[in-house]
Amino acid sequence: MKIINDSITISTRGFNDLKDLTEILHEKLKNSGLRQGVLTVFVQGSTAGVTTIEYEPGLVKDLAELMEKLIPSSRSYHHDERWGDANGFSHLRASLLGPSLVIPFSDSKLRLGIWQQVVLVDFDNRPRQRQVFLQFLGE
């Protein structure tokens, strides 16, 4: 059993920017030489999240509109009053979605569905450089 720690840096535009990580995860798994185990994907920061989605332009828009409906960016939050950074909505969206995902792999393949992509969603109100930590644990 072996642990491989890795991380990727991703430039985002903020405002619900969705980045498809699937290809890079497949590649990193291949390079790891591991056959079975778990991959933990964890975004460092409190205004971004990780989930799976069918990555296509329609749903990318739908998810942004859903977040705007559930947690509007237009209203003011207590966080904004205290800190003046006006991204209370970004924090709330991130806490709701969650910062991490654990994906099992076997036969050297991530056990994702065909239309199921792993995405980073950046909820912040400005462009960001995101650190996504990756850890493969397996054999």
Q: Residue numbers of the site for a copy of itself (CB under 8 A)?
A: 1, 3, 5, 36-38, 40, 42, 44-46, 51-54, 56-59, 61-63, 65-66, 70-71, 77-83, 88, 91-92, 94-104, 106, 111-113, 115-117, 131, 133, 135, 137-139
Our CB check for a copy of itself shows the closer of 33 and 104 to be 104
Query: What is the separation, in whole angstroms, between the first and last Cα of the chain?
Result: 5
The DSSP letter of residue 33 is T
Minimum separation from the CB atom of position 79 to a copy of itself (A): 4
Residues 6+ apart with CB under 8 A from 9: 129, 130, 131, 132
Minimum separation from the CB atom of position 95 to a copy of itself (A): 5
**Chain-centre distance for alpha carbon 58:** 18
